[in-house]
Amino acid sequence: MSVTNYVVLAALLFSIGASAVLLRRNAIIVFMGVELMLNATNLALVTFARIHGNLVGQVLAFFVMVVAAAEVVVGLAIIVSIYRTRRSASVDDANLLKDVREPA
Amino acid sequence: MTTLTTLLPAALDASGTTTTGEAILFWVLAPIMVVGALGLLFARKAVHAALGVIVVMISLAFMYVAQDAVFLGIVQVVVYTGAIMMLFLFVLMLVGVDSSDSLTETLAGQRVVGIVAGLGLAVVLAGVIGRATYGAPVGLQDANAETNPVGLAKIVFGQHAFALEIVGALLVTAALGALVLTHRERLTPKRDQRQRADARVAALADGVVLTPLPAPGVYARHNAMDVPALGPDGRPLEASVPRVIRVRGQEADAREYAARIDRVLAGGWAADSEPPPQASEPLSGDEPATAALDAATSQTGQNGPAAAPDQSTEADR
C-alpha cells in the first residue's frame, strides 16, 4: 500500500466535512464539520511528515490541535449564548444582521 | 508506547510502500472512518453525528500511531476525543438533544449548490492528489531516533518556542472569552436569606403559613401518606396530604376519619360497631372541641389522634 492512500483519505474526510458545513443547518453539526476538516488536515500533515522524513509536519498538526481546542471553546460559547437569547441552534435563525425591510 | 510501535511496525521498505500490517489497519479503519464522517451528513439527530465524529477521531489516533506519530496519537485521544467531543456532547445536552434540523430551505437552491460544491471540492482535491508527484517516502526512523516525543519537543521548544508562547496566550484568552460569552448579567437584585425571611414573615398577614405544613398520617392508627393528619380539634387537615396525591385523587377519605372523631366526641367510643348518625355528615363542624376530646382520650387512656409534627419543608407538598 502506498503512503499516499492516507492523503486520499484525508481529502475524502475534508470534502465530507466541507459538505456538512454547507448543507447542515444545526450550528453544532456545522461546527463538527469544521472539526472534521481540521482533523483531515492533520492526517495529511502527519502523512507528509512521514513522506518527507522530518517532524515539522507533526509539530504543525500539534499546533492545529491546540488552536482547534481554543476555537471549539469560543465557538461553543457563542452557540450557547445565541441559543439562550433566540432559543434555537439553527444557523438560519441567527439573522440579526439581515435587512428585513421591504424593498422600496 | 514501545509495545504500540512494535505492534504497528511503521517501517517502509525500499520501494516506499508500507508493511502488510499497516495496510490491513488502513483498509479496516478507512471505511469505518468514512461511514462515521458520513454520519455527519446524514444523521438526523445531532448526537448520532457527534458519535460518528468520535469514531472518526479515535480511528485517526490509530492512524497517527501507525504513522510513527505516537505523541500525536495520544494527544488526539486526549484532546479531541476526550475534551473537544465531550464538550460538544455537553453543549448538545445543554441546547437540547431533540433540536433537529429544519428541512425548509431559507435560501433557494442552497442544498443543490452545497452538494455540487462538496462534490466539486472532492473532485478538485482528488485531481490534485492524483496528479501530484511525491518523492520516495523517507519514513521517520531517523527523525524518531530519540523517540517521537523527544524529536517533537526539540522542534517545538527549539524552532517554534515563540509560537508556543502565543498558543498559550491564545488558550488563556479562549478560556476567558468563553467565560465572558456565557456570562449572564443579573437583571434583578440578589435576594439574600435575611430578605427572604423578612418577606415570608410579612406575608403572614395574607394568610400564608409560616411554619412547615403538617405531615400526613394519624399516628398510632395510620402513617400512610394519603391519610390526612388531624388537628388539635380533631378535624382532618387537608394541607397535610401531599399536593401530588391530592391532585391525583388518591387521598384517603377525610370524612371517614372525621366521623370516628365525631363518634368519640359524641361519647360513642365504646359503640364502635354501629355507625353513629354523624358518620354520613359532611365536614361542617368547625368549632374546636378540644376539651371534650381531651376528656375522651384521658378516659380511655389512649393517645388521642394527634396532628403529626414534622420536619419536612413546604417543597414536599
Summarize pLDDT for B273-295 with one digit per residue, the tens. 544 444 444 444 444 444 444 44
Residue B29: is its pLDDT beyond 90? Answer: yes
| Domain spans in chain A, listed from the N-terminal domain onward | 4-86
Residue B3: is its pLDDT beyond 70? Answer: no
Does residue B143 form part of some domain? no
Tell me which of B75, B98, B121 is where a domain ends. B98
Q: How confident is the model at residue B308 (pLDDT cuts 50, 70, 90)?
A: very low
B300, B301, B303, B305 alpha-carbon torsion, rounded to 10°: 20
**Domain covering A4-86, topology:** Helix Hairpins (1.10.287)
DSSP assignment, residue B15? T
Range of the domain at B257: 209-312
Cβ neighbours of residue B271 closer than 8 Å, sequence gap 6 or more: B263
**Chain A: residue whose CA lies nearest to B110:** A23
Tell me which of B55, B82, B98 is where a domain ends. B98
Does residue B125 form part of some domain? no
Q: How far apart are the CA of A93 and the nearest CA of chain B, in angstroms?
A: 10
Q: How far apart are the CA of A16 and the nearest CA of chain B, in angstroms?
A: 7
Q: What tens digit of pLDDT does each residue of B123-168 get?
A: 999 899 888 888 888 888 888 888 889 999 999 999 999 999 999 9
Phi-psi region of A99 (alpha: psi -120 to 50; beta: other; left: phi over 0): beta
Q: What tens digit of pLDDT does each residue of B231-252 get?
A: 777 777 778 888 888 888 877 7
Q: What tens digit of pLDDT does each residue of B77-134 get?
A: 999 998 999 999 999 888 876 555 566 667 778 889 999 999 999 999 989 988 888 8
User: Domain with B19 in it: what CATH number?
Assistant: 1.20.120.1200
Does residue B73 form part of some domain? yes
Does residue B144 form part of some domain? no
ipTM beyond cut 0.95: no
Structural domains counted in chain B:
2
Residue B296: is its pLDDT beyond 50? Answer: no
Does residue B116 form part of some domain? no
Q: How confident is the model at residue B28 (pLDDT cuts 50, 70, 90)?
A: very high
Tell me which of B52, B70, B98 is where a domain ends. B98
Measured between beta carbons, the chain A residues lying within 8 angstroms of B140 are 49-50, 53, 55
**Partner B, chain A 45-74, Cβ-Cβ below 8 Å:** 46-47, 49-56, 58-59, 61-63, 65-74
**Partner A, chain B 82-111, Cβ-Cβ below 8 Å:** 83-84, 87-88, 91-92, 94-96, 99-102, 106, 110-111
What is the rounded CA–CA span in Å between residue B131 and residue B52? 31
Give the pLDDT of residue B298: 43
- For residue B291, CA distances in Å to A57, A68, B232, B287 come to 94, 79, 10, 11
Where does chain B have alpha helices with state H?
A: 2-7, 20-42, 46-66, 70-75, 85-95, 110-131, 148-158, 161-181, 193-202, 243-248, 254-265, 290-300
What is the rounded CA–CA span in Å between residue B236 and residue B226? 12
